[in-house]
Amino acid sequence: MAAQDSFQDQTDAPDADEIEKITRAAWHYYNDGLTQNQIANMLGTSRIKVSRLLEKGRQTGLIELRINSQFGGCLTLQTELVDAFDLVDARVVPAAPDIPSTPRIARAAASFLSQKLEANDLLAIGWGEATMTTLRYMAPTFQQANVSLVSLTGGVSAYIGTTGIYGPTNNAHLIPTPLRVSSEELAEMLRVEPYVRHVLEMAATARYSLIGVGSVSNSATLVRYGYCSAAEIELFARRGAVGDVLGFFYDADGQILDLDLHRHVVAIQPGELSKIQNVAAAAGGSEKVDAILGLLRGRLANILVTDEDTARELLRRVG
């Protein structure tokens, strides 16, 4: 469990006073086109301080760059993806070799969701790195729009933490269990536990959900966080698994496999997930192409946020 500490935020959230300053600085810098020096004079502070305020604003997602092109995102690939896989929507971030794609995809996912979520909406979230990173970028939106979080699986509380970054009035309804427990019996007991049940039922009522996609490899997040052993992964692969959602492995057609593991997972049932109107998957990278293909074929998600290279590969493979 200790390993999950690395899920915590690296930048701490700015307080109200700082938000005010960042907002002011950002306005003058980006909208008014003033120099940092001029802003420093107006705000009665030093130039370097302004520089840092802006940097912090960008990091935390308080300052968001929105690109208003054709379809909100970037490329014609988006429409092609929507058509090819019969999706509700898609976002494709431009290719950028040598830059890790997860944070970029997370940025796009955060931007997408921020745009779609309305005041007092409920966002259901799964487990995984992409999900976590996306949430971090969305923190300011949660405060602003009073969006509540509800978890689809156990193991989420570790990276939501007890910090108040999701605002004072916002509730985060999390399942207070690990993603996987040691026995089938325990898992069942937890699933019927009133509070857990309540959260899972609530999750099914969300208008939007955000999930990650796991690949079937030794470097999968599930393995790195100790939820699965490398041996298990190999076994699943031989059984035809190409990826996982919420801890459930599926084959190339997106059919959930019948695995012991699945009875050890504390999460919403995949069948229940499809009750949610908009299921957005955030994932990219060549190692995840198989997993994403299966996911989309099995209609386990209807919105995809990915990167350009992955999108091209998906379209090549499906065409």
- Minimum distance, C-beta of residue 98 to DNA, in the bound complex (Å): 14
CB atoms within 10 A of CB 286: 11
Query: If contact means CB under 5 to 8 A according to the sort of partner, which of its own copies, DNA, none does residue 270 touch?
Result: none
- Minimum distance, C-beta of residue 33 to its own copies, in the bound complex (Å): 8
Which residue from 4, 41, 45, 157 is in contact with DNA, where contact means CB under 7 A? 45
Taking alpha carbons only, the member of 308, 312, 311, 305 closest to residue 88 is 305
Which residue from 26, 36, 135, 245 is in contact with DNA, where contact means CB under 7 A? 36
Residue 36 or 177 having the CB closest to its own copies:
36
Rounded to whole angstroms, the Cα distance separating 234 from 227 reads 14
Residue 55 or 118 having the CB closest to DNA:
55
Residue 120 or 144 having the CB closest to its own copies:
144
Going 201 to 88 to 117 to 151, the CA torsion angle's sign is: positive
Residue 48 or 318 having the CB closest to DNA:
48
Query: If contact means CB under 5 to 8 A according to the sort of partner, which of its own copies, DNA, none does residue 48 touch?
Result: DNA
47 near DNA, rule: CB under 7 A: yes
Query: Which residues, including other chains, have CB under 8 Å from residue 298's CB and lie 6 or more apart?
Result: 250, 253, 254, 255, 256
Q: Contact 197/177 with Cβ under 8 angstroms? A: no
29 near DNA, rule: CB under 7 A: yes
**In the structure encoding, which two tokens stand for residue 158, read together?**
């570790």
Q: Which position has the token pair 């997860």?
A: 102
Q: Contact 259/184 with Cβ under 8 angstroms? A: no
Query: If contact means CB under 5 to 8 A according to the sort of partner, which of its own copies, DNA, none does residue 31 touch?
Result: its own copies
- Minimum distance, C-beta of residue 93 to DNA, in the bound complex (Å): 19
Q: Contact 89/114 with Cβ under 8 angstroms? A: no
Residue 52 or 207 having the CB closest to DNA:
52
Query: If contact means CB under 5 to 8 A according to the sort of partner, which of DNA, its own copies, none does residue 171 touch?
Result: none
Query: If contact means CB under 5 to 8 A according to the sort of partner, which of DNA, its own copies, none does residue 133 touch?
Result: none
DSSP H/E element including 135: helix 129-145
User: What is the β-pairing status of strands 243-245 and 214-215?
Assistant: antiparallel
Site for DNA in 50-109 (CB under 7 A): 51-52, 54-55
Query: If contact means CB under 5 to 8 A according to the sort of partner, which of DNA, its own copies, none does residue 30 touch?
Result: its own copies
37 near DNA, rule: CB under 7 A: yes
DSSP letters, 260-313, are: GGGGGB-B--HHHHTTSSEEEEE--SGGGHHHHHHHHHTTS-SEEEEEHHHHHH
DSSP state of 250: E
Query: Which residues, including other chains, have CB under 8 Å from residue 274's CB and lie 6 or more apart?
Result: 299, 300
Residue 12 or 185 having the CB closest to its own copies:
12
Residues of this chain that interact with its own copies (CB under 8 A) are 16, 19-20, 22-24, 26-28, 30-32, 34, 42, 57-58, 61-72, 74-75, 93-94, 96, 99, 104, 107, 114-115, 140-141, 143-144
Q: Which residues bind DNA (CB under 7 A)?
A: 29, 35-37, 45-49, 51-52, 54-55
